[in-house]
Amino acid sequence: MNQARPPVQLMRASLPSTATASPLGLLKNLAGSWIGSGFNLIALPNKQNGGIFRLMLNATHEVLDFSPIGAPVPNRGSLQDDIFLTGLTYLQRVSDKQSHAALHIEPGIWLNVPPTSDPSAPATIVRQSTIPHGDSLLAQGTAFEVNGGPQIAPVSSTPTGPGTGQLGYLDPYLHSNLPPGITQAMVGNPNQLLVDAIQGQNIINTVVLEISTTPVGGIVNIPFITQNANATKLDAIFWIETVELPDGEQFMQLQYTQTVILNFDGIDWPHISVATMVKQ
């Protein structure tokens, strides 16, 4: 099998197995700086140009930096003993791959939450973030580890809801001016870019981080966002992958898919972002 190798400037020395115990749990290998590329798809309201919406597509360049929080964070218990959270702060910066124009900046925190008795709950992970459109996010989920590579299911960019009966609401999805490296199939299923990126790689271990704003969490928006393009839900999966090269050297790779639902004009519009990055 041919082994896909990232550019030499992105290579680093072999990394330890995720099996090593860490206060950060399965979040531990996030620490550091990741650089790579991806794809962003979003439908935007278009009232000022006389339309209902326009579709924005970008091939992206991304930098994602994680820094461990210096000490455990105590949560005081009244019904059970105190618990202590560990985590990492992060800063995400996304730009257009061609023009280098800024597209997104997001500071936030990932937390490793131990199991609790009140409420009765298993260990979880949490992502908190703020976005400078006037949105704040809290999403919770689970982390687990598997041998081998990730199982990346398709994700649909097709809008849904009662407003989709309008003539031509899908036209921009079918006749788009596509960015370099992005195919029409990827417009329908952006996760295809992730699948293509790991073809031929020997991924020996994957840590899976699955989070959602439902049933626990949510997105809080300023009134303008709520009235004009309400961000109602986020689902995301991150895959921390250990890739082995033919000479036995290993490197760490991070992939993610994220879907945020924006609601306007009676339609739920999936805003989908995907990326593949290598640890520096």
| Nearest residue to 36 (alpha-carbon basis) of 70, 69, 72, 10 | 10
Q: What is the per-residue pLDDT for 2?
A: 36
Q: What is the per-residue pLDDT for 51?
A: 87
Please give the single-letter amino acid code of residue 133. H
| Number of other residues whose CB lies within 10 A of the CB of residue 242 | 21
Show the domains of the chain with their CATH numbers: 8-279 (2.40.128.20)
Name residues whose C-beta falls within 8 Å of residue 197's C-beta, 6 or more positions apart in sequence.
4, 255, 276
pLDDT tens per residue, range 35-87: 999 999 999 999 999 988 999 999 999 999 999 999 999 999 999 999 999 99
Q: What are the residues facing 81 on neighbouring strands?
A: none
- Please give the share of the chain, as a percent, with pLDDT higher than 70: 92
CA distance 123 to 58: 36
- Which class for 226: exposed (0-12), middle (13-18), buried (19 or more C-beta within 10 A)? middle
Confidence band for 167, pLDDT divided at 50, 70 and 90: low
**Coil, helix or strand for 186?**
helix
Q: What are the residues facing 257 on neighbouring strands?
A: 237, 274
pLDDT tens per residue, range 190-236: 999 999 999 999 999 999 999 999 999 999 999 999 999 999 999 99
**Coil, helix or strand for 27?**
helix
| Nearest residue to 192 (alpha-carbon basis) of 200, 183, 204 | 183
Q: What is the per-residue pLDDT for 13?
A: 32
Name residues whose C-beta falls within 8 Å of residue 70's C-beta, 6 or more positions apart in sequence.
none
Q: What is the per-residue pLDDT for 169?
A: 84
